[in-house]
Each structure stands twice: as structure tokens, then as C-alpha cells.
Amino acid sequence: MTNKVRHIYAAGNTARGYKTFYDSVLEGLERVYILTGTVEGITSPLIESIGNQMARKTNEVEWIHSPFVNGQFDGVIFPHYKVAIMDGSYPRMWRPASPGVTEIQVNLQAMVDVDQLVDDKDRIATWYEEIFNKSEEAYQAFGEALRIHDEWEAPYIENLDREEANRVTEEVIALFFRDEQREKKAKVRRMYLGAATPQGPVDHIMKLTDQLEKRYFIKGRPGSGKSTMLKKLVKEAQKRGFDVEVYHCGLDPHSLDMVIVPEKSLAIFDSTAPHEYFPSKDTDEVIDMYKRAITPGTDEKYEEELLDIKVRYTQKIKEATANLVAAKELRDQLNTTYQEAVDQQRLKAVSQALVSRLTKMG
């Protein structure tokens, strides 16, 4: 069997604050282990260790990446076992799970020599406060960037041929489903296409779609109907009983950037900056919404105005990213402080105990 290793984002630093799709991503699981305790820097290595050990026992592993520190993980899911290991530390918020899901709290506080942290307690409190402040400043700047993005959309919305945009959507729906109907309730799973991180925007589009039979790359401009088309496609999939993966925009969770219909082995995604890709396989196709549905010459007509908007938007994104970098640097200091106070042997024992328990479940 082929290995089904997936990389996703389930939480994001967005223009609407820190928002997660944990409820949707974890739906259908039977057990969720939540790593708790104020233990910065310990959870991700533990998740990675368990994930790597379990990868030798199951061909399905889904890594949930952290939007706070590039290369770190907020969780790992093992679909075959219907189980997840999740970081429950600040600011990830946990609500009681849906009926049927067993939540097991694994308190890592006992792994930390608290006496070793006493001398650093004031610094630790200051770091947490500063992380909060820098994150809030980042969300504010992303919020301003989104407002500028609305300005960017305006000329294109004004010059959008809605009838033609609807026609393109109907063509896509026909390409995806023809006249097929499934006699079951569709499962809808929501997550992020990518995330705003300290290293800038990151996504896993190519990894997520590489094995699919068909990919549609949507080109266009802000306001040319890309997200609207994807929302209509999701509704149609639900109506016809097809399971659907819905990938939300990392800047604006209200907007959609990609839809995958696994049962049809099809993907369609917004392939414009900051996640601009080009066809690389014979089966890839481009859908150009600018050519199809925007009045010719719109780019040229509003050239100066659009240039000014782009400059202001880029500036706000840079400002927001700089705040994420500042928050990450503070997290790094916290991580180092906690890692020095951790009993690594006890931590290793927790990792082995969890792997042993998970294996028995299978």
C-alpha cells in the first residue's frame, strides 16, 4: 500500500485573529490525546517523536503544522486508529469534544523541574505577555491588509461579468460531477490551505494534490469570483453526496482557496500569489477568470490605483509578519528555558507509553 502522509494547517494567524478548524479536522475520531501543562517547546518534539514511531506501524499519518514556529507541529492524526495527539497549550483553545469522542488529557507539567524555573518566573511571565501583544499586533496588521485587499477587489468586482462567472462555475460543476449522485450524506472537512507564519505564507498544495488524477489551477485577480466558485462547488458536492475537503484562506477564513473531492480524485484551487503555481502534469488545466469574466483592459485602466493598493497591502503583510517573527523569537526563549528544565527520560517514557497504547488500539 502507498504511504498516505499528509501535511495540513488546522489553525491560523488570520485577519480575524487566531482561528482554528480543529472541530472539523478531528471529526470522526474516537480518541484525542491532548498534551496539557505550561510546557512551551516540549509538545512539538513529543508529537513528532510519536508520529515518526507510529509511521512505522501505519501507512496513514496526517501532520498538523504549527503556524507559530515553522517546522513545528500542533498535532498528528492516525486515521486508521481514529486517534489524534494534539497540543493543548496556549493559545490553542479546546472545547469539550462531540459525543463519542474520548478526550484524554496528558499533563506534561510533571516532566518539568519547576524549581529550575523559579529564577526565571518573572521573565517567563513577561515573555508570555509579549507573545500575546506581538500576536495581537500581527492580527491587527493582517486585518488592515484585508481591508486594503477589499479595495483591491473593487475595480474587478465592478468589471465582473457575473453571468459569465456563473457559466464558468456551471462548467466546473459539470466537469466534476456530470449527472452523478451518491446515496449518502456528504462529509465536509474544513482546514486551511496554508498559513501566515514567521517565514511568510506557507502551503502544502502540491503535496496534497500530487497524487490526484486531475487538478484545476484557477488564475485571476482579487474579486474575479474564485472563492465564490469554490463555495458553490462545495454546496453542489454536499447536495450530490460527495465527500469534500474544503481549504480556507489563511488570511481570511471566510474565503475559500481550494476544494478537493477525494472520491473523484479532483482538486481545484486558487493559484494566484501568495500560492501561485503552474501546471506541471499533462492532466493539469488552467481556468483563467480574468480572461473569462473580467472586462478586457481593466488592469490597464486602473493601473496606478492598483499599484498604490498593492504597495500598501504588501507593507501591511510585512508589518504583520515582522510581529510574528518577534513573537517567535520570544517563543524560542521560552522553549529553551523549558527544555532545559525537562526530564528527558520521563518525556521519552510518555512517548513510548502513548505509542504502546495506540498500537494496542489498532
The DSSP-derived string for 86-111 is: EE--TT----PPPTTPEEEEEEGGGG
Q: Determine whether 108 is exposed, middle or buried from the number of CB atoms within 10 Å of its CB (0-12, 13-18, 19+).
A: buried
Q: Give the pLDDT mean for 193-208.
A: 96
Please write the tens of the pLDDT for every residue from 306-320. 999 999 999 999 999
Q: Give the pLDDT mean for 169-173.
A: 97
Amino acid letter, residue 294: I
Cis peptide before 99 (omega within 30 of 0): no
pLDDT for 94: 63
Helices in the chain by DSSP H: which ranges?
22-25, 43-54, 114-117, 121-158, 162-177, 205-209, 226-240, 289-293, 298-301, 303-340, 344-361
Q: Which of 25-29, 152-156, 283-287 has the lowest mean pLDDT?
A: 25-29
Q: Please state, in angstroms and rounded to a whole number, the distance separating the CA atoms of residues 84 and 62.
A: 9
Q: Any bridge partners for residue 105, and if so which?
A: 34
Q: Please state, in angstroms and rounded to a whole number, the distance separating the CA atoms of residues 106 and 53.
A: 18
Q: Which residue has the higher pLDDT, 338 or 362?
A: 338
Q: Give the pLDDT mean for 58-65.
A: 95
pTM of the model: 0.94
Decide if pLDDT at 359 tops 90.
no
Over pLDDT 90: what percentage of the chain? 83
Query: In terms of Cα–Cα distance, which of 112, 108, 110, 113 is closest to 354?
Result: 108
Decide if pLDDT at 91 tops 90.
no
Q: Please state, in angstroms and rounded to a whole number, the distance separating the CA atoms of residues 41 and 43.
A: 6
Q: Give the pLDDT mean for 151-168.
A: 97
Decide if pLDDT at 1 tops 60.
no
Give the long-range contacts of residues 114-120, CB within 8 A, separation 24 or more.
114/341, 116/340, 116/341, 117/337, 117/338, 117/341, 120/337
pLDDT for 115: 87
Q: Give the pLDDT mean for 38-64.
A: 92
Please write the tens of the pLDDT for every residue from 222-280. 999 999 999 999 999 999 999 999 999 999 999 999 999 999 999 999 999 999 999 99
Cβ atoms of 13 and 65 closer than 8 Å = no
Q: Please state, in angstroms and rounded to a whole number, the distance separating the CA atoms of residues 62 and 354.
A: 17
Q: Determine whether 360 is exposed, middle or buried from the number of CB atoms within 10 Å of its CB (0-12, 13-18, 19+).
A: exposed
Q: Which residue has the higher pLDDT, 74 or 98?
A: 74
Reduce the DSSP state of residue 18 to 3 states and report it.
strand
Decide if pLDDT at 93 tops 90.
no
